Structure 1
Amino acid sequence: MVKTNVFVAGSALLVAAWAIAATPAAAADALTPAQKSAVEGIVRDYIMKNPETLIDALRGYEDKQHAAAQEEAKKAIAANRSALEQDAGAPVAGNPKGDVTVIEFFDYHCPYCKKVVPTVQELLKTDTNVRWVFKELPILGPDSVTASQAALAVWKIAPDKYLPFHVAMMETRGTFTEARILETAKKSGIDPGKLKTAMSDPAIKAQIERNHELAGTLQINGTPAFIIGGELVPGAADLATLRDMIESAGRLRRCGASKAKAIRGLRRRCSAVAVDRPAIPINFPLPICPGQAPHSNVIKTLNTKLRRAVCVRGYFPTDEAPLKLLFLVSNWAATAQKMGDGQGSTRLPVRRLCHRSIIRRPAHKNSDSLLSLGAACRGMPLLSGSPRRRPVRCHCSG
């Protein structure tokens, strides 16, 4: 209730301020005191009668602000990807060559960080394709800094002991004094004397400073915080959430790698085709990427027109736009077949392509994409039906 009242009060102030700001200066000056009072009364009455409208408006504004902040975070993550994933000073667990890298920012005194340790252990145990990067971010006082220095020192002198030591530290309750840290290290099979010496290494202090600077750049203000597939996940996320994000990031990464490989194969195998040939049949299998399922109209159109369409320059194009044209149509066609037969992966020969035969005036949500295909193909000679001459065959399987 208190939260709602504050929300309404804030809404009233915002609307009143907007009403005053939206009034032209000359007109505002021309209003008499009585007129100004009348306007204020109208605004006040509306707010009192329709508070839910203002609450919804402010919530919508908050949602937009949150979405904008997430977009900025994505850009910052992309710009700092190397520092996040390839920092030699950051401890790493799991598969060093895993498909997905998870970055975790944490503090050893953070109760929520301790809460997610079983989740992290379960993910590392059950997912052999995940690579976990630990970013020490001591934000809860000098004792947290000491604990982080000890953990980074363990990574330096005995990297194979880091994860057991990390888990032991997280399972320990109370404040981490140096004596308590050294005792935990001894129980984890680490020489306390070597650890104490390594903790004073200036490189460890520099590592912690870099982590703080990186967290500031990414606007990470608390722990724990995870970065998965370019997405920032603040707070103690549960096992299902983290697992879903890891699986999604893995699919996107593998699909992107397959796309790049297929396009490289097309360029390598088809670039030398003679320029005086009418058409080139292409066998172009591609994986189905998440989020690319086409509209039913596209499925129907591709199924009925794709194989009798012809888009030729007389040779297979090596410039980027026609490559994208071929790739997009191939991927949509493969998706259409997948959705039709219910199979997981599919291979669909893409024989002859032309945007004019694929679709004329698309009236569905993929219109922009299909029109861009048309732009990529524009200016190429159009042949309807099958060519009479036997074309050069360039079977590009990726």
Structure 2
Amino acid sequence: MGTPETTTGTSTSEHPRISKRIGGIAESATLAVDAKAKALKAAGRPVIGFGAGEPDFPTPGAIVSAAQAACADPKNHRYTPAAGLPELREAVAAKTKRDSGYEVTAAQVLITNGGKQAVYQAFATIVDPGDEVLLPAPYWTTYPEAITLAGGVPVQVTADESTDYLVTVEQLEAARTPKTKVLLLCSPSNPTGSVYTREQITAIGEWALEHGLWVITDEIYEHLVYDGAESVSLPVAVPAMADRTIVLNGVAKTYAMTGWRVGWLIGPTDVVKAAANLQSHLTSNVANVSQRAALEAVSGPLDAAHEMREAFDRRRRTIVDLLSAIPGVECPTPKGAFYVYPSVKALIGKELRGVTIADTVQLAALILEHAEVAVVPGEAFGTPGYLRLSYALGDDDLKTGVTRMAELLAEVK
């Protein structure tokens, strides 16, 4: 007789308790940092968190009112089509034409449980085991996990501050192999805030078209651009790529609706139909009340989004100035989203509070311990030597938090 498995996570080699597929997924570093910061605050410590990519504004009142009305309507108490409410799919198609000039039909839209589900289902739908996916870095933490879970192989293509964290066609071509099937593109970018120009998007799209590649493009920060930058949708810049492009988006960032969990993917009808089939087994429909709230959001004006963008713009300039004044910190000015991604490579190997800084994981831990400020190390985004700070928090907390960091880092020897 074999030895019974214990509850500690050990098992026989033939039957591991956790599958390799799931056991290999890394925890979301950004959510982990945010959870730790919130736990410390709950314990009474005055922690200021720069970890979560979450607007600090409430969801606009008209959207909340629509959700309240939806709660009382019995038709929202039942199952609805797995691919999304038909009227929401129509509204997302109309919003996409209005905001990015990309004309699609409702049949090309799949409503998902937040942007993350759109990411996972996009890769699951078009990636087969062994397919390579070009992944520009720094990248959002979920991308490589979604690629790997689909059986794909992430191929990192790294850019640094010298090119504003933007990869070139030449870099992509150097990384391409016969196994390359997909390019992941995120502009405006999480974690760097960088924005590809129309010319760069066009060049990348034409290169992908030439080599028969797919592009999955994440456009969830489309309305958060500054200094004259524009968010350009790849199938608009290169219309011939529409049949090989999946656009990811959602209401979370534009309408301060992170907790409502409504995203979508837009793509060719066969891809959307296949992804909807997956979703019918995975989750069925997105919560109807959230869908009704999203319908109000995408159908209404962008006034609240523009007000948030003005606040983010002000905070962006403030945080760049404060970080750039710290010796050893190099902070490019982002043109989109609500993140900065300063290089702190000059601090690695130096001493702080009796500790030699080995990497940015350790530096972030020291900042949390001694300055009570939560930041995310660059290792989470594929590029050690950097920190990501979200400036989607109040102006006073922003200034206080970076000032605490500056005072601590002034001790570095």
**TM-score with structure 2 setting the length:** 0.25
**TM-score with structure 1 setting the length:** 0.26
Give the structure with the higher percent helix. 1
Give the structure with the higher percent strand. 2
**Relative contact order, higher structure (CA 8 A, sep 6+):** 2
